[in-house]
Amino acid sequence: MKLFPISSVAMRALAAGVTLPLVLLSTAAQAESEPQWRSGQYLYDNVCGHCHAPEVNVGPSLGGRGLPEAYIKAIVRNGFNAMPAFPASYVDDESIAKVTEYIATLPLVEQP
């Protein structure tokens, strides 16, 4: 008997909300010796894709949607629903521009 029934999607979102900030903290510790995000693809693969890659199906798929940089920046900085906010100390504006360019190259994937 479960005391608090919770869906698998909610569990994945909760896990992402706990895990992502820890991943970012460990990456920030390395930022002094090397560039934080060397490309948009690198940022997507190491942060965004943990939730937004189509095969993960936690957050919405971003590719092929024509999302403008200003929109992506607003969501990254402020968070939205289960997505945490990422301050400039973790993802700088230049990296947001690069990841926006990379996302624009991804194909549109229909999600259920």
* pLDDT interval class at 12 (50, 70, 90): confident
Task: Choose the catalytic residue: 74, 83, 85, 88.
Answer: 83
Set out the domains of the chain in order of their start, with CATH numbers.
8-105 (1.10.760.10)
Q: DSSP string covering the chain, please?
A: --SS---HHHHHHHHHHHHHHHHHHHHHHHTTTS-S-SSHHHHIIIIIHHHHSTTT-SSPP-TTS---HHHHHHHHHH-BTTBPP--TTTS-HHHHHHHHHHHHHSPP----
Of residues 97 and 1, more confidence is placed in 97
23-36 residue pLDDT tens: 667 665 555 545 57
Residue 83 bears catalytic tag: yes
Please indicate, yes or no, whether the overall pTM of this predicted structure exceeds 0.75: no
Question: To the nearest whole number, what is the mean pLDDT of the chain?
Answer: 85
Which pLDDT value is given to residue 19?
Answer: 72
95-104 residue pLDDT tens: 999 999 999 9
Task: Choose the catalytic residue: 11, 74, 82, 97.
Answer: 82
